[in-house]
Structure formats: C-alpha cells, structure tokens
Structure 1
C-alpha cells in the first residue's frame, strides 16, 4: 500500500487483470477523480490505464467513500526496468516507443501533469501505457514537456551514461509537442558512449554486480536498493538490510518505503512516521499519513489535528490546515475553511488563502479560481495576463 497527500493506493487484481485501487482522502481529490472519470468515458485509447470511479463503494468507519479502479495492462513499471539495467539497443528502442507515446497523447488529447518513470507501464507487447492519472486533464498542454524530456534522458542514461545531451531548458524552448518529439528522436538515435574526462565508476553496475554475488535466498522478499539499504520482509514485518544481506534495521514495521536523502516513511500498528538510516524515529509513528518530499527535505503530515509541514529533523514548521497538497516549485497548496492559498517550504503563508480552488505550480505558474474566475498566477501570487 502507498499513501500520498491525496490518495491511498493499493495494488490488486480486477478479475484476471492487474489494477490499482485508489481511495481519495480529500474532498478535492474526490471531485477531481469524478471529473476525470466522466471525461475519460469518451476516450478509448491503449495509451492510458482504464479509469473507473465507483461511488460510495468503500466504508471508512461510519463514512462511505468513493474508490477509483485503474485497470492496468500486463507489463512492468518503467522504473523497475531501468533499475534492473538494459542494453544500449534496448534503451534506444524503449526511448523511441516512449517518444511515440508522448506524441500520440496530443491526439487523445491528454495531459498527465504528474509524469514519472514510476507511472509508466511497459506492456508485454512492447507498447507503453500511463497510469496514476488523478492529476490529468483532457486537454492539449505543455505541462508534461519537462517530464517527457527527463524520462527520455533517464531511459538513455541507464545504458549510455557518458553520452552528452542538450540541456532540458534548451529543449523546452519549443512549445510544440511534435517538434519536441522530433528533437528527442534525433537525440536518441545519435546517443553514443563518449569517453569521460576522467575514469568514473558506474555505480549502478557495481551495485548490480555486488548483489549478484550475495545470496538473498534466505529472505522471503527484498525490495530495491535505495541509498545502500534494501527493504526486506520477515513474516508480516519489514526491516532493512545492507547490500551484504546483514540486518541493519530489525523487521518491526507494517509498511516501509525506499530511503531518499537519508529518510524513509515507515509504519507500525500505531501509525506512520519517518525514520533515518539507522532506524531511529525522526517523526514518531503516530500519524495517519506522511508524504516525504526528498527534493525539498520536508514532510507533509496528516493526523487528528489536520495537515501540517515538518522539516527533515522532525520539527513542525507550519500551522495546521484542512489540507496540504504536494510541493512543487517550493510552493504547497493549502486549504482552510474552503479557502485556498500557498505556503512555502519553510511553512510560511506566502500567498493568502483567498481562492475557491488552487492547483500545483508548474514552471513558476499555477492555476487558481478566484470568485468563480479561473486565472493563472506567478510564484508571488501575481496574476499572469
């Protein structure tokens, strides 16, 4: 099971198909899911996972909640494929398939708005499909352009680490998706291994070779390597190993996530918290939900008091809100009493809670609704005309 600031997600089976069951945990998430489900009813494409909203199908205490079923094609998430390693030939083929998918999405049209390698399925037939569609919109947009470039580079750099590429900013100078994809095709076709200026270690290869020499057959299950820690399961509890199969953190958790910037989300029977690489609690396991944003070294936390922001040392740095969104461009959408605004990564309210609705920042811009009027604001809250 995974949690974010807006959904609880669980992998399952829907008949004979893999699926993801998603439970919105915020009223705005429920509304977004309903809008998207209605829009996708008129869209028939293999590029997107099946997306169906079931009304009042889940009981949480005395409350009924909607659930979303994302029916997935048979295949593997792209991030798992890349972490296992691929050849240069496979990397170019996969990059070409990904670029073709990105271009085809303009014909649907669909903007995902939260693309990453963990939200892409490489299907058994070699095609590609997107899931985790909750932030998406049926529209033509440049919102995904940065992610399209970064994912292409991630695929190529897995197998061709020393190649040189144009900067992301240079490619984003074009707002035309077809032109962007044409440039990426040329880059993928020309990518070649170039000698590094000095000898460098391929850490991914070294890690893989080391793990190949270590016997993990005594473990029921192990996860991926994250900052030289490997999650493992013993019975119904999880802990962490080092890369030599030594137990570093005893199995004591009901749920664990990979380490990022020295921190990992972990849960016990009492609640969810944040640990360091020695297994010490940075944030005590007494909360309902934690979303650790390693890029900003902050944690968004939900408990009985509401939503608040914590720093990497476990200190609460904001007041409580009815809801906090995900951090982007150092801004976090915040809601209290049905009014939306933004706080920064220090927990300070930098844009007053005045809007009917507010969305995540992308490239220094965010869409908001003020007195029923949609508009776009910059990082300081000024309207962009």
Structure 2
C-alpha cells in the first residue's frame, strides 16, 4: 500500500503534523486555498516555500518510481557542479494513516527551484544569441557529467543568472552509456524554439535603440515588465494582465494594478483597493483604502478608516484593525 494524492494533499496543508524536515514549509496554493499539484508519469509534485526559497516536493505514485530516482539522487551528491539544482531524497518524510488507522511513512523528493525565470519569459527578455550560447553551454556541461535528463523541455528549464538550469530529474540517468547524447533531440527542439521566437527591432531611424523585451506586446497604452509570466498593461478600459504572447489573462478592468509578486497583485477599483490571484479572483475584496502586499512575509498591510490590520496569503485577517500598523510577525500571529 502506498500513499495517495489525498494523503499528499493533506500533508501539504498540515506540514507541522505530517512532515518531518519540512514541517515549517508553506505550500503554493490556488485561489481556493488548495495546493497547486502537477502530475508527472510516476510522481505528483507541488511547489513550496521553505527557508526563504522556492522548492518542488514530489511523492511517488508507484512503488517502483523511487528506484531510479534514488540512484540519481545518490550520484548527484558526488557531483560538484553548478549546472544542476539540488535534488535529494527525504527518507520517511511524510507521515500518513492507512484505512486501518495504522501510521505509515513515505519518502519524498526535494528539488531546489533556482531563482529566475521560466523559459518562455527568457525568450522575450534575452537576446537570442545569449540564449543559444547558454543552451550549448548546458549541453556540453551535461555531456561532461554524463548526465542525461530524458525529459528536457521548456517547463523543465529555468533561466538563472545568464544560464539555463534543468529541473525535475525523475527520468534522469548518470553515467549512462550514451554520455549525455540522449538529450540531443531535445536540445535541437529547444534551439528551434529560440530561433523561431519573434525578434526585436534594435534600430529606430538609424539610431541604436535599447532592446525592449515587451516591444511585441502592442495595442496597449502602457506595458510593464514580465513578472511571474504575466505583464500588467493599461488599455482604454483600465489596467489588466496579458501573458508573454500578448493573450489576455485578466481583463483590463482596474483603475490601477501592480505587478504580480508571489502570485498576488494589488489592484485599485472605484470602490477601493484589493488583492487578486493569478486567475483574477479577489483574495482581499476591493473595499479598503490601502492594500500593500509584502511577498517576503506573505502578508498584506491593509488600511480601513485610517486603521491598519494584517491579512495572510489567503486573505484571512490576522489582527484587529488598529491605529498603528502591525509588524508582519507580531506576537499575536507568530506563535
């Protein structure tokens, strides 16, 4: 008997009761407050925030899923390289109970999520030559390490400080006979993706102009920069958000809107300020004088009738409204 998706979800929502080393982690949730889960072939994973950084935590869905992964994690510990992200097994990390009420434990995988941008964002913020050179550097580094990812695609690459770092090593092999050439087709596909991306127009009236990564986001009065895959824009009807291909994601309907930070954006409406998630749903309704979200502490400072209170990531009020603005981690909320 192995743990199910329901067991994994429950553990993510109650880490202090269900997890060992990750007892103080906070899972990334959707607008309903449930963990954002992604299923791969043999694993289910979720994003978490732990010790001030982003991570992926994954649970096996079959008894055999961990076998190859254990070999990969063990080999990675012996490699001294900066082109791969931290990846390790947490033995017996998750506690759960079977149908008879007996306590059981399941190993989990912990993968560091490098700070940076997704592949699609890098396409519009970086020069093609830079991206192609970084892709070649990654290919050569993996071959030197005899590391074959076996699932190298856009969603499994992060653009971090001028280089690509692959993530999700569930299907990887180290020291295989193909010496890393098993990813050759994937690298060629990624090179074509970069080559086919729309090119910027570097010259205006024969004068060199700085590269504008949002030059192709046309049809707007104003555009911001890419934050978490979304761009704040101003249209005739107000402020809203589009994706990196200029497709509308959240309709232009606000008097003002800020950029997304940790999945939250402040907005202004005729009735007041509020806080929305990436789907455009209100986490904090637009009925306050000020809503100032602090991504470092995952709390919002909210002012109403001249008094301040703290709200958490899900929009729950943590403190009473007071004349003085509360600290992000006061004694009444940090027990």
> What TM-score do you get using the length of structure 1 for normalisation?
0.43
Structure index of larger Rg: 2
> What TM-score do you get using the length of structure 2 for normalisation?
0.49
